[in-house]
Amino acid sequence: MHLPVLWLAVLLVALFPQFSTSLSNNGLTTAVEWDEYSFFILGNRTFIQSGEFHMWRLPVPCLWRDIVQKVKAAGLNAISVYFHWGMTNPRQGEVDLTGINDFRPLLRKKRGSGLSRGLVPSSEICTGGIPGHVAWLPGNPPWNPYNGELRSNDTFYQNAWQDYWTSVITLIAKNQITQGGPIILLQIENEYYNGAGQNEYVSSLRSRAVDLGVVIPTFVNDAGEFSNLLGTTDLYGFDAYPFSASNCGNANPSVWRPIVTTWGDYFDTVAPTQPHFFPEFQGGSADNWGNVGGYATCREFVNTQFQRVFYHQMWASGATAENYYMFYGGTTWAQLPYSQGYTSYDYGAPVDEQRMLTEKHGELKLQSLFLRSFKDFYTTDLVDIDDTSISDLYVTHLQNPLSGASFYIFRHNDATANTTFQFSYPLGQPTIASSSWGGYANYVDVGASTPFLISGPYLVRNAFLNGDGNLALWGDVDTSTDIQIFGSGSLVSVQWNSSPINIEQISPAVWTAFIPFTAPSPSIVLPDLESASTVWRFRDSLPDIQSDFDGSAMVPADQTTTTSVFPPYYGGPWILYADMYGFHAGNLLWRGTFIQGGYIEQLGWA
């Protein structure tokens, strides 16, 4: 959210090789289709529940699997990921899709397991951060790096995105669901607006992607209910952040905003033939520089009660595709923080900056259990809203038109209220079809083998049941833990992180076991930085104190015109915008020499 950037997003899901895919009349693959209720992935109706994760905010690719496993453990079936344009294409003509810019480690399938077999959690990839070499291109009219011809159909800009777009989209196209990869959806741009040349620009990003072989649906994410960019891509979605960052930042985490009730009608008006789709729904909160509360307050503000009330309201408005921004925020390293996001990007998300699960992760899992269990919920019409029968109560009644299964979503009429009250509500004739309760067999989604529920451990990352009834579990405990295993399969033995554990069968489908916790060894002892005995080492690396410094690598800051529409306010006649000299990021070293009647400047070492 709120980044002045160019985005491209891709959602990824599982691969079903037996499904033969073809193109439908609209030129898109039949592997990802939709109607007005929900998406079909490989022919199966799917409630897309995704979590947002940014690779460069955890710039250690071997740790990405940890996040993927935590996404799966929360019961989500998709991941949304951004690409960063500035990092991928830092200099004109140079595109780097290696290291932390390479999303492919996220796509790899793990060895089969009861939790993950055939299910690669999905990803969405966005581009972000207009590189300096683009922001300072000489244009006509001159570029305004903050509000100008960037992100339009202007010829300079159209040329500027070709290298980047071609490389990134080519890699994405190779990993679409039709190619055996897990990518199901592609977002074009980010929170952008209607405007002269802007719709044309978004359309040409899409057509270029199609030329490069993209057959999955593309979509835009409007920044709100603004009807922007309708018709420029295949699908439309909008982002919703009901709670404002300034509240958590100013340590007012108990003051709620009223709930929004317009979402359902809005979707029916602007996009009546597609699922109600939230490419970003509030998963935590940004925190601005200067706020007093910090992210702990954001997590308290956008807490499990927020998840319950607002996510259920989103479902009540017919949503069947949603991406929580952020699932894991992480850290904004190096020179990438900005005024609305300092170095920590913890975001008050379900998984905190240190990758620890919070209780918000548990709430997501509860909600996922419901969604996996009740597939009738993926196809519902609004029957009615009752906010009068009981004055404090707001009830949304949804019904599956085929099975007749009814769903009632209850909340306070005034969602900001703190009162507790009891009520009884007449549900009329129960119409829940017997097929409606799919049980937890559906939890692990398509491709699961024998499902087991494991209760007790801090985290279960993976599970595998072999034909001999040996269940191998991988996970974490943070204290010695009793566990319960519920399942319909027959169980002979259980391993926890490859070590056998004793199990006791206490009823036909329930086993118990004990997992001892051993504290990590050696334990980490932080140094006392204030102690007089602490030895500090440093190296003064300033280039101009080095013996071989002769100044020849410094770039003279001698230009007197700029492509920026902002004139230099002082320091003339020379232009001191570092970008004008090719330094777009990093630490800058200015060297000035005062001469009689003025001074000269030099610049170097970005």
Ligand X SMILES: *[C@@H]1O[C@H](CO)[C@@H](O)[C@H](O)[C@H]1NC(C)=O
Cβ distance to ligand X smaller for residue 418 or 502:
418
Residue 263 CA to residue 313 CA, distance in Å, equals 9
Cβ distance to ligand X smaller for residue 417 or 600:
417
Cβ distance to ligand X smaller for residue 6 or 87:
6
Which of the following is catalytic: 124, 149, 191, 363? 191
Where would I find the beta strands (DSSP E) of 297-392?
319-328, 381-386
The single residue among 2, 4, 19, 179 that binds ligand X, judged by CB under 6 A, is: 19
Establish whether 191 is a catalytic residue: yes
Residue 217 CA to residue 447 CA, distance in Å, equals 23
Cβ distance to ligand X smaller for residue 15 or 220:
15
The single residue among 43, 231, 573, 586 that binds ligand X, judged by CB under 6 A, is: 43
Asked if residue 255 binds ligand X (CB under 6 A), the reply is: yes
Residue range at the interface with ligand X (CB under 6 A); choices 127-135, 415-423, 561-569, 592-600? 415-423
Q: Which of 158, 108, 157 is nearest to 137 (CA)?
A: 157
The single residue among 24, 92, 155, 497 that binds ligand X, judged by CB under 6 A, is: 155
Residue 125 CA to residue 347 CA, distance in Å, equals 19
Q: Which of 31, 12, 13, 11 is nearest to 21 (CA)?
A: 31
Where would I find the beta strands (DSSP E) of 101-182?
none
Cβ distance to ligand X smaller for residue 52 or 445:
445
The single residue among 44, 389, 391, 484 that binds ligand X, judged by CB under 6 A, is: 44
The single residue among 24, 254, 305, 335 that binds ligand X, judged by CB under 6 A, is: 254
Minimum distance, C-beta of residue 388 to ligand X, in the bound complex (Å):
20
Minimum distance, C-beta of residue 211 to ligand X, in the bound complex (Å):
17
Residue range at the interface with ligand X (CB under 6 A); choices 39-47, 456-464, 467-475, 552-560? 39-47
Token pair listed for 535: 């030895």
Q: How many residues at the interface with ligand X, by CB under 6 A? A: 16
Q: Which of 289, 225, 231 is nearest to 262 (CA)?
A: 225
Asked if residue 63 binds ligand X (CB under 6 A), the reply is: no
Minimum distance, C-beta of residue 200 to ligand X, in the bound complex (Å):
4
Asked if residue 417 binds ligand X (CB under 6 A), the reply is: yes
Minimum distance, C-beta of residue 256 to ligand X, in the bound complex (Å):
7
SS3 call for 100: helix
Q: What are phi and psi of 266, to 5 degrees?
A: -60, -50
Residue the block writes with tokens 């909008």: 238
Asked if residue 438 binds ligand X (CB under 6 A), the reply is: no
- Long-range contacts for 95-98 (Cβ within 8 Å, ≥24 apart)? 95/163, 95/164, 95/167, 95/168, 97/167, 97/168, 97/171
The single residue among 159, 162, 416, 455 that binds ligand X, judged by CB under 6 A, is: 416
Q: What x/- string results for residues 359 through 398 when contact with ligand X is judged by CB under 6 A?
A: ----------------------------------------
SS3 call for 220: strand
The single residue among 21, 30, 153, 403 that binds ligand X, judged by CB under 6 A, is: 153
Q: Residue 43, by phi and psi: left (phi above 0), alpha (psi -120 to 50) or beta?
A: left
Residue 282 CA to residue 239 CA, distance in Å, equals 8
SS3 call for 338: strand
- β-pair partners for 604: 589
- β-pair partners for 452: 487
- β-pair partners for 288: none
Report CA-CA distances (Å) from 400 to 318, 377, 426: 11, 7, 19
Residue range at the interface with ligand X (CB under 6 A); choices 51-59, 181-189, 360-368, 410-418? 410-418
Q: Which of 244, 251, 237 is nearest to 319 (CA)?
A: 237
Minimum distance, C-beta of residue 47 to ligand X, in the bound complex (Å):
13
Minimum distance, C-beta of residue 16 to ligand X, in the bound complex (Å):
5
Minimum distance, C-beta of residue 118 to ligand X, in the bound complex (Å):
8
Residue the block writes with tokens 């709100």: 224
Residue 95 CA to residue 302 CA, distance in Å, equals 38
Residue range at the interface with ligand X (CB under 6 A); choices 40-48, 64-72, 358-366, 558-566? 40-48
Asked if residue 66 binds ligand X (CB under 6 A), the reply is: no
Contacts of 329 by beta carbon, 8 Å cutoff, 6+ apart: 54, 57, 284, 344, 345, 346, 347, 349, 353
Which of the following is catalytic: 52, 124, 149, 280? 280
C-alpha torsion sign, points 62, 68, 74, 75: negative
- Subset of 193-232 contacting ligand X (CB under 6 A): 196-197, 200
- Percentage helix, strand, coil for the chain under 3-state DSSP, each rounded to 5: 20, 25, 55
Minimum distance, C-beta of residue 266 to ligand X, in the bound complex (Å):
26
- Subset of 71-90 contacting ligand X (CB under 6 A): none
Residue 472 CA to residue 486 CA, distance in Å, equals 14
Cβ distance to ligand X smaller for residue 43 or 556:
43
Cβ distance to ligand X smaller for residue 416 or 559:
416
Minimum distance, C-beta of residue 373 to ligand X, in the bound complex (Å):
13
Cβ distance to ligand X smaller for residue 96 or 200:
200
Cβ distance to ligand X smaller for residue 120 or 171:
120
* 24 residue type, one letter: S
Token pair listed for 68: 């993927």
Cβ distance to ligand X smaller for residue 167 or 261:
261
Minimum distance, C-beta of residue 186 to ligand X, in the bound complex (Å):
22
Binding site for ligand X (CB under 6 A): 16, 19, 42-44, 153, 155, 196-197, 200, 254-255, 416-418, 446
Q: Catalytic residue numbers?
A: 191, 280
